[in-house]
Chain A
Amino acid sequence: MLEVRLRQPGPIPLDVALRCADNELLALVGPSGSGKTSVLRAIAGLLDVGEARIAVDDTVWMDTAAGVRIPAELRPVGMVFQHYALFPHLSALENVRLAIPRTRDRATATETAHALLNDMQLDGLADRRPDELSGGQRQRVALARALARDPRVLLLDEAFSAVDQPTRHVLYEELIKLRQRLALPIVMVTHDLREARLLADRMCILDGGCTLQDGTPEQVLSRPRNARVAALVGLRDIQPGVFLKDPAVRLRWGDADSDVQLHVLDKGRLEHGTPVRWVVSGEHVQLHPTAPSTLNPAHNHLQCELARLSRLGDMTTVQCRVATSPASLVHVEMTTREMLRMGLEVGQPVWLELDPQGIHIMPVRA
């Protein structure tokens, strides 16, 4: 288990607490300058933080309060850098062998380096220098080198960002396979939410050096803690509203003039009249091309106008405008095949069914 607590007012402000269990992949997600890479560098020992405690199981790597500071070169960390940072004057084999602890003799180290390269499907490329390898092959050498130290923690700093899309998917598969063999805490920095959703067991959303939310990708994406998290995780329809309790629990969509009110669940945390932001997760929105013959009384049914169709290959985004509140827009993602099957066209009336279970309400921060 990796446990990290970092705090400093500057020059890079940080207030981060995170944990990553063995065999768990934690994705650090946030905008540029949010402190993701600084957290990774602090774990590796490449960045000194004013107030810090970093421990792996019972071993403390950094504890400013106790005056403990293990230097980077003595921390058993494997790190894959964004641009790989392979030593350009060394072959793939030499790059990997360099990271093998010196306690092993040269023959054993060479054998281990060959085995690591073979594990990464780099058989026959051991003598090539980085400039003689493709982007994906360099990435694999970097991963083999990161594993050469028998690390207790694996750190991936946007490790997949510099390769093309097809190569990236092959590398994802290899990381997934690798995780079946390694019981390591893995911390990955990424800008790519799809990547985080695909690979990570947990996501930690960072902004301005602070942890905003930590949870499984499903939790974070369907129940963002606040509007900022919702925006950072790329949720499109972050709607304004007011939470009402009197005479019944309702969510008024939009400002005070709006008459669109939705059934929602009351968790007892909000007062009547609290201004909120809300999102609805895609799986709880159903689009009907014609008026539904039977209505589920517990669900919300809204008559809308189909305002726009944005077709992007296999997927289509349908923009719906609520008939009684033209400023209120909802985007529904569906397959292009489904859209064609329904025969949707811009301007036609459609009906949206919103399940209150999928409506997530967030208070507006003062």
Chain B
Amino acid sequence: MDWQALELSLWLAVATAAILLPAGVVAGRWLATSAHPLKPLAEAALALPLILPPTVLGFYLLVAMGGASLPGSWYRDLTGHTLAFSFEGLLVASVIFNIPFALMPMQRAFEAIPRELFDAARTCGLSRWRTLWLVELPLAWRGILSGMIMTAAHTLGEFGVVLMVGGSIPGETRTIAISIYDRVQAFDLQSAGVMSATLLGASLLTLVATSWLSRTRQPAGWSR
């Protein structure tokens, strides 16, 4: 068992979920309530990581993070090293490829709130901010939590993008999924088996948790 890779994967999962939580709530709520003409385009762009081959996404991210690109050179000038093949780079990639996994359950949860409740909140004198805190978030929390769980689980298991952007630097970019690949290459099937079983268990738990959350998505007695 590569404990260092497991720890790094968990940190990556937590950091990714922490970044996508506020971003997902804001974007999910906007997509759920907006009638902007560009909304379908925004939805398509944000869902792209779902169908794009991980190597393609990884390639573009690698190019964008390299020293030859504007953001890459800017980051290198700032920190002294490139974003590619670093934990920070891995985090940026992880956030991008997890956007649909975090966003979609949150958007669906906000969409499920009846419009009449927003009207009721306004006629009760609630500001938009209080409506978000007192009405929307308590009603959408299952979707938000579901998005976070999906994000964390997907981060633990992502392979293609991580390999392209981060390679396999121990303690820096080698996640548990990369470590399984390395162990198999080295014919250490026992370690690969233990780590695979760990990811299998995590995936199963994720599906059980999201299934439970979706079954209890709305409180009974929803007012419509």
Spell out A's residues near B (CB within 8 Å): 41, 44-46, 71-75, 77-79, 81, 83-89, 98-99, 101, 129-133, 138, 145-146, 148-149
Contact = CB atoms under 8 A, between A and B. Distances in A.
B215 interface: no
Given A129-B219, A132-B221, A87 B117 contact: yes
Interface stretch (B2-10, B93-101, B123-131): B123-131
A73 B122 contact: yes
Contacts of B120: 79, 81, 85-87
Interface centre among B121, B220, B221 (most CB of A within 10 A): B221
Instruction: List 6 tightest A-B contacts by C-beta distance, closest first.
Output: A131-B221, A85-B120, A99-B124, A72-B122, A85-B116, A131-B220
B222 to A, nearest CB: 5
B138 A46 contact: no
Nearest to A101: B125
Given A46-B119, A79-B120, 11 more contacts: A72-B122, A73-B126, A75-B123, A78-B123, A86-B223, A88-B218, A88-B219, A88-B222, A88-B223, A133-B221, A145-B124
Contacts of B123: 44, 46, 72-73, 75, 77-79, 146
A88 B221 contact: yes
Contacts of B117: 85, 87
Interface in B110-146: 114, 116-117, 119-127, 134-135, 138-139
A146 B119 CA distance: 12
A46 B125 CA distance: 12
B139 A46 contact: no
B224 interface: yes
B216 to A, nearest CB: 12
B135 A87 contact: yes
A81 B139 contact: no
Contacts of B124: 98-99, 145, 148-149
Interface string B18-58: 00000000000000000000000000000000000000000
B114 A73 contact: no
Nearest to B119: A46
A interface, by DSSP: helix, strand, loop or mixed?
A: loop
Nearest to A75: B123
Interface string B203-224: 0000000000000001111111
13 contacts: A45-B122, A73-B127, A74-B125, A79-B119, A81-B116, A85-B119, A85-B223, A87-B134, A87-B139, A88-B219, A88-B220, A88-B221, A88-B222
Contacts of A133: 221
Contacts of A73: 122-123, 125-127
Contacts of A71: 122
Nearest to A148: B124
Contacts of A84: 223
Contact of A83 (B122, B126, B135, B224): B224
B127 to A, nearest CB: 6
Nearest to B131: A73
Contacts of B116: 81, 83, 85
A42 to B, nearest CB: 12
B134 A98 contact: yes
B179 to A, nearest CB: 43
Contacts of A146: 123
A149 B124 CA distance: 7
A87 B222 CA distance: 8
A77 B121 CA distance: 12
B131 to A, nearest CB: 9
A148 B124 CA distance: 8
A62 to B, nearest CB: 14
Interface centre among B121, B122, B123, B134 (most CB of A within 10 A): B123
Contacts of A75: 123
Nearest to B220: A131
A88 B139 contact: yes
A130 B221 contact: yes
Nearest to B139: A89
Contacts of B223: 83-88, 130, 138
A86 B120 CA distance: 8
A44 B118 CA distance: 13
Contacts of A131: 219-222
Nearest to A129: B221
A79 to B, nearest CB: 4
Interface in B61-101: none
B217 to A, nearest CB: 12
A98 B125 CA distance: 9
B173 to A, nearest CB: 42
Nearest to A79: B123
A101 B116 CA distance: 21
B122 A98 contact: no
B122 A89 contact: no
Contacts of B222: 88, 131
A69 B74 CA distance: 47
Contact of B119 (A81, A86, A138, A149): A81
B122 A46 contact: yes
Nearest to A47: B119
A130 to B, nearest CB: 5
B119 A89 contact: no
